[in-house]
Amino acid sequence: MELLEQIATRFAALAPACDYWTLRLVAESSDHLEVRQGVVEPSALGESLGAMITVVAGGGVGYGATSDLSATGLRAAADQALGWAAAHALLGLFDAAIYPRSDLRAQFRAPVLEPWESMGLTDKLDLLQDANEALAIDERIVDWSAWLAWHQVRQLLVTSAGGRVAQVWDYVSPGLAAVANAGSQTQHRHGGGADWAQQGGLERIAAVGLLADARRVAEEAIALLTAPECPSDTRDLILTPGQMVLQIHESIGHPLELDRILGDERNYAGTSFVTPEMFGNYRYGSQHLNVTFDPDVPGELVSGAADDDGTPMRREYLIRNGLLERPLGGRLSQARSGLTGTANARACGWDRPPIDRMANLNLEPGEGSLDDLIARVERGVLMDTNRSWSIDDSRNKFQFGCELGRLIVDGTLAGLVRNPGYRGLSADFWRSLDGVGGPATLEVRGVQNCGKGEPNQSVYVGHATPPGLFRDVAVFGGAE
């Protein structure tokens, strides 16, 4: 952070005369290692450093971004921001007087027990080779790979109001993939942390069981080759946390983004079936549906101190006992709409301004174990690990496919089924929620490729969730 502090001091000496300014400095480092079919793939190293300058002046807001962090480069970006602020004052949708100001002073550092540098490159590649050997258990495994990735983000936000927010996030992301084939049938399985992203260091390797999980991944891929197709009819459905993550993400998270509700996304990724009038009275789901915005879960992907506008992040209910309470909207969208939201104005890097994004969006646990949920199902399917997804441009009608399914007969897990999928409407689906696993079943997961905005921004999003039981869902298989 010392370098970022030096740049911030440099900018303060030349900051433009305006009503308010912010300087957000972002330094990112990344490394990706992979071994596929026993062959070391080309590694990918990344370094990025730059600044986003925001100014509020004369009734407008403007942005200027640069990777030239000299005094000349920073001054040019500030001048660009002033130019855009002048244009916004003439043509913008809102008066810049409502733009949020921050004097917050805070800091955050991700918990890291074993830093990325504590293991040498040779040892990392040896680990991935061992995982490859553990995956290649049968000639029907036709493709297999293991990977290990590291990503660190160091960010400093300073404001003309005296704000200073310093945050550092570290992520280590292992994963496994196996592809099995027999004739015209091909099946995929993932594991070893591939869908279990969290903050942390190399301790994540043991936490997700990279090596220990390899044989299960390969065996399930092979078993799915001869499993029957998932039936196509109406049945009860249990989703494991690995699939609940995407269900929450697509049919709760995106519909509740306040800038989307205000129409900002309609040209790119659609709007939302949710309207401002729904908050406070709309039944989004059953009484079992309790969804929180929670920045305090240890290790979750977006746990931290503040959003990229310098608003302190606090735990808030979005949906309580099935009733819709508040949207995912940062302070600017809150001012535009008159609704109370959350601290979730986020940018994907130094060259993008903050927009309303999911952060840690969690389904609160209920009671009992996964076995307790299964025992309540007479005729159903359990589905795990997303394979495909489709949702309409109002984030309402959806269809998801999973890698693996298991029939449930009279409260007991039966055999595997392949190519399982299900479909529904967001609100109807969540109203069919009839059970949520207890605290012991909750898993802290997330996604690392959530895209939104023009120009596009891809960010990490945290989701902690137990398994869920849904009644009378339209399920289908690959033969449909």
Dihedral (Cα; 80, 82, 88, 94), 10-degree rounding: 130
Whole-angstrom CA distances from 433 to 285, 292, 394 are 7, 17, 21
Q: Return d(Cα 435, Cα 290) in angstroms, integer.
A: 11
- 329 close to 339: Cβ distance less than 8 angstroms: yes
| DSSP-based three-state secondary structure for 260 | helix
Residue-wise pLDDT tens digits, 186-204:
999 999 999 899 999 999 9
Residue-wise pLDDT tens digits, 289-306:
999 999 999 999 999 999
Q: What is the mean pLDDT of residues 102-129?
A: 97
Lowest mean pLDDT across 91-95, 175-179, 282-286, 300-304: 91-95
pLDDT range class, residue 170, cuts 50, 70, 90: very high
Q: Return d(Cα 240, Cα 385) in angstroms, integer.
A: 8
Q: Return d(Cα 376, Cα 288) in angstroms, integer.
A: 15
pLDDT at 427 (0 to 100): 86
Q: What is the overall mean pLDDT for the chain?
A: 97
Q: Measured in whole angstroms, how far is the alpha carbon of residue 109 from the centre of its chain?
A: 19
pLDDT at 476 (0 to 100): 97
- 380 close to 237: Cβ distance less than 8 angstroms: yes
pLDDT at 480 (0 to 100): 59
pLDDT range class, residue 268, cuts 50, 70, 90: confident
Q: What whole-number percentage of the chain has pLDDT above 90?
A: 97
Q: Measured in whole angstroms, how far is the alpha carbon of residue 228 from the centre of its chain?
A: 33
Q: Return d(Cα 228, Cα 224) in angstroms, integer.
A: 8
User: Domains (ranges, CATH) in the chain?
Assistant: 2-226 (3.30.2290.10), 233-476 (no CATH)
Q: What is the mean pLDDT of residues 47-55?
A: 98
- The partner residues of 144 in beta bridges, in order of sequence, read 178
Q: Return d(Cα 478, Cα 480) in angstroms, integer.
A: 5
Residue-wise pLDDT tens digits, 141-159:
999 999 999 999 999 999 9
Q: What is the mean pLDDT of residues 23-42?
A: 98
Closest to 153 (Cα-Cα) out of 172, 129, 134, 171? 171
Q: What whole-number percentage of the chain has pLDDT above 70?
A: 100
- 34 close to 131: Cβ distance less than 8 angstroms: no
pLDDT at 346 (0 to 100): 98
Sheet holding 361-363, edge to edge: 323-324, 316-320, 291-293, 361-363
* Burial (CB count <10 Å: 0-12, 13-18, 19+), residue 226: exposed
Lookup result for tokens 């009671």: 367
245: phi then psi, degrees, rounded to nearest 5: -55, -50
Q: Measured in whole angstroms, how far is the alpha carbon of residue 75 from the centre of its chain?
A: 34
- 410 close to 378: Cβ distance less than 8 angstroms: yes
| DSSP-based three-state secondary structure for 60 | strand
Residue-wise pLDDT tens digits, 223-256:
999 999 999 999 999 999 999 999 999 999 999 9
The answer for 183, left when phi > 0, alpha when psi is -120 to 50, beta otherwise, is: left
Residue-wise pLDDT tens digits, 419-443:
999 999 998 999 999 999 999 999 9
